[in-house]
Structure 1
Amino acid sequence: MRRIAGIVLAVLLVGGVVAAVVAGRDSGDTGTATKTVRGVIGSEKAEFFADPDVVKALATEGWTVKAETSGSWAMEGLDLKGYDFAFPSSQAPADALAAKFRVREPLPRPFYSPLVVVAHRAAAGVLAGNGLADVTGHRGTLRMAAYLDAARHDRTWQQLKGADKHGELTGTLAITSTDPESSNSGALYLAAASYVAAGGKVAANAADVGRTAPLMRKLISVQGAQQSSSDAAFRDFVSGAGNPLVLVYESQVASLLAAGQAGDDLVVLYPDTTATSDHTVVPLTDDGRALGELLSTDPALRRLAVRHGFRPQGATSEFEAATAAHADYLNQTLTGVRQAPVPTYAVLRDMARRARG
């Protein structure tokens, strides 16, 4: 399967920030941008800010954006002096940053994306044949309770009916996720899994975390080394490397589909209970807030966000219309998908630490 085209990782850095993307510079743009803002963003938004059409739309409104990427949960440890905004991938790390820097509410939340599991066709078929998923064509539903029960009992692929026909399906059955201590998607994975494991109760304190901690530890420890970026994990999957089941954002899949780069081997599994990533701007200056509000309201930027797979807040029709050609892969209306409440920042951090051992 071909690699994702257009992933922009312009400058590799050390110490938490993994890449830099400069919008409006070295792109040949001759727009009317008059204000330059600097921010740190989740890696899954790197392509959006590097898109020449996004650069042009921002310039039309008088803006140039310089953005560096970082794991959302790692942003709290960064020195953000001189930055205008932070743009993590969900509300929990955004709220923590807002509290740290005494940012006034409400925080702009331009778009969102649910977590999904991308699977190779053979893996999806074996899951379906063993009651762990329902699959039709390129789309399906992952039965979270059944999957967690398999994880609890250390089920292997070899123990699943039909897996013997696929030599690549070996070892312990596991979903690959990112490091929950540094990456938003990894932390949200634990939020959804713990909610299901607790019988539909969101963890509210240390005792709640402790009750599901052994299972959460299994979900993480079986993976071995984890990446800090969902972008890297998704690129590995698309290239044919890595594990047959990988947790990613729906936006990454939708962007791939929009670029016409999805192969026949791809199946998108929506967990029947998942967590939604609310991409939230934390304004550190007035210009940062103005940018966040522009991303939320400007029609051109909203259309471009959809092109990159994001669901704009407040108008599901925009996403449905733009992805109509890919309804065989995407659950446009999220039918049958339950949204798990996400614990508070402190509780989720505790959950991630315990899961990591």
Structure 2
Amino acid sequence: MAIDTVREEQAIRRLTDSLVESYTETHSAEQIETAIGSARQRFNGRPVREFVPIFIERIVRKELQPEPADTPAERVVTVSATADGPRVDLTTRLRQSPLNNKRSLALLGGAAAVVALLVVALVARQPDPAPAAAPDAGLTTVRGVVGSEKMAFFEDPRVVAALARHGLKAEVEPAGSRQIASIDLANHSFAFPSSAPAAERIQRARNVATKYTPFASPMAIATFRPIADLLTAAGVVRPGPVPTFDVARYLELVSRNTEWAHLPDNTTYPVRKNILVSTTDPRTSNSAAMYLAIAGFVANDNAVVQGAEAEQRVLPIVSRLFTGQGYAENSSAGPFQEYLAAGMGPTPLVMIYEAQFVEAAVQGQLKPDMVLTYPSPTVLSTHTLVPLDESGDRLGRLLSTDAELQRLAAEHGFRTGDAAQFARVSAENKVPVPAELIDVVDTPTFETSERLLDGVTHSFN
């Protein structure tokens, strides 16, 4: 399968500009470009490219962070005998006052000598240890492709340990949920897209009847307090304990090509671009397909789109929501990371999964003016695992039934079968969320969704 790098090149250019601006005081543009090029080489030959710019940014930012000022330190050496043999702990402790370097080295040298003598004496009295087992010995590797918003969950060391206790090691790679159906899954044990329609497409292609739905997340719109205030005055955002986003009023503004600068008394964001929610690419990503389902329902006089007549009626309306955006990324991780890093300038409104916002709060990534609103109506994205072999089936059952894995899913922002877990996580991290989802509508059938998405795709041309 040929790899289309046009979008990746665009994303790399944007990333380069962003990093040069962020680190201009400490690194030259040439140094930053070299770091980006070096990081990019690590992903040469990888067939799934959508997340390469995100991974490159993480690598380069880590490399470019200024080193902490040199702080004198001392080594504290602790030697103890245990039933399993000698234990030597070497820890570094920062001191508040400087040490004489020669004196420090002498002390460390003496300590090291004492440690060596003690270890030799203790080891001589211990029986030969048994050979250490390989870290993954006895584990069954289960490979899968998942929606990008679940990568942090599978990379969580606590999740890795919980799966290992059940004899599994999950190896996952990210992809846009709709794109997963077109990836070669021959060497995979499961596919884990972010909605039932995307999973249904995979089930049909692979002739699989079984599926698991371990958790879910409603669609939401992330914005900023100044933007929310502007849209409140415009009748789009309805304030309250949990702010809502009136999709019908929003579509009215879009139909008139309303720009931010057109809003009365707008001094906080008077830019000359249309009011549009930023989304992913509807051709590859589930979150954009969910956005299309919401807008289609409202454009169809508050009814699920069904039949050729309804499809043709709503297509001109919903297509404008995408064609006016310009470049769109292939998965939900991209626009949300830009929202977190770049602020309201490029992304005043972004369609996300509720779980992404809650997870960012847990990780301390949110800034005080970041606001979560809920489309009225919204749709529920049911994360659905399709097992492709026996080990994938084991994983699906575990994620759906194991109490620890369900608790960890809630800590990553997902709603599980135990509503109290999600409520606790959101309350502890001060994220206002609805306890119960009421204004939720159904998505169109698989066939209707595909025809609508195909229609939007044609509109790009």
What TM-score comes out, normalization by structure 1 length?
A: 0.89
Greater share of residues in helix = 2
Please list, as runs of the form range in 1=range in 2, the aligned pairs for 1:1-357 lying within 5 A after superposition.
15-16=47-48, 18-19=50-51, 30=135, 34-105=139-210, 107-136=211-240, 139-163=242-266, 165-167=267-269, 169-241=271-343, 242-312=346-416, 314-327=417-430, 329-334=431-436, 337-356=438-457, 357=459
Would the aligned equivalents of 1:233 and 1:246 in 2 still touch at CA under 8 Å?
yes
Q: Return the alpha-carbon distance in structure 1 between the equivalents of residues 158 and 310 of structure 2.
A: 46
Query: Separation in 2 of the partners of 1:326 and 1:148?
Result: 32
- Residue 31 of structure 1: CA displacement? 6.8
Query: Which whole-Å CA distance do the structure 2 matches of 1:59 and 1:173 have between them?
Result: 47
- CA deviation map 1:181-236 (0-9, x unaligned): 10000001000110011112111233221110011111011101111111011000
- How far apart are the structure 1 equivalents of 2:394 and 2:379? 28
Distance 1:221 1:326, change over 3 A: same
CA distance in 2, matches of 1:120, 1:141: 13
Contact residue 32 and residue 60 of structure 1 kept, 8 A? no
The offset of 1:340, in angstroms, is 1.8
Distance apart, 1:325 and its partner CA: 2.4
Instruction: Kindly provide the amino acid, as one letter, of the partner of residue 150 in structure 1.
Output: L
Letter in 2 for 1:176: S
CA deviations on 1:128-168 (whole Å, 9 max, x unpaired) are 0111111248x5110111111111121111121232x1246
Partner of 2:213: helix, strand, or coil?
Answer: coil
C-alpha deviation, 1:330, in angstroms: 2.7
Work out whether residues 355 and 414 of structure 2, in 8 Å CA contact, stay in contact via their aligned partners in 1.
Answer: yes
Unmatched runs of 5 consecutive residues or more in structure 2: 1-21, 23-39, 53-133
Over the aligned positions, Cα root-mean-square deviation in angstroms equals 2.1
Check conservation: 2:144, 2:191, Cα contact below 8 A. yes
Quick one: distance in 2 between partners of 1:162 and 1:194? Answer: 31
Q: Which runs of 4+ in 1 moved over 6 A?
A: none
| Structure having the higher Rg | 2
Q: Name the structure, 1 or 2, with higher relative contact order (CA <8 Å, separation 6+).
A: 1
Structure 2 distance, partners of 1:19, 1:58, is: 25
- Read off the aligned partner of 2:263 and give its amino acid letter: L
Q: Is the contact between residue 17 and residue 68 of structure 1 (CA under 8 Å) also seen in structure 2?
A: no
> In structure 1, what is the equivalent of residue 31 of structure 2?
none
SS at match of 2:173: strand
What one-letter code is carried by the residue in structure 1 that aligns with 2:193? P
Structure 1, unpaired ranges of 5+? 4-8, 21-28
How many Å apart are 1:322 and its aligned residue? 2.1
User: Alpha-carbon deviation of 1:169?
Assistant: 4.1
Return the alpha-carbon distance in structure 2 between the equivalents of residues 191 and 99 of structure 1. Answer: 21
Q: Which amino acid aligns with 1:315?
A: D
For residues 265 and 341 of structure 2, the distance between their equivalents in structure 1, rounded to whole angstroms, comes to: 25
Give the conservation status (yes or no) of the 8 Å contact 1:206–1:350: no
Q: Is the 8 A contact 1:12 1:19 kept in 2?
A: no
- The Cα shift of 1:17 comes to 5.4
> So what's the TM-score if we normalise by structure 2?
0.69
Q: Deviations over 1:295-318 (max 9, x none)?
A: 011111011101111111x32122
Would the aligned equivalents of 1:115 and 1:250 in 2 still touch at CA under 8 Å? yes
Aligned-partner residue type, residue 130 of structure 1: A
- 8 Å CA contact retained: 2:426, 2:433: no
Conserved? CA contact 1:94–1:281, under 8 Å: yes
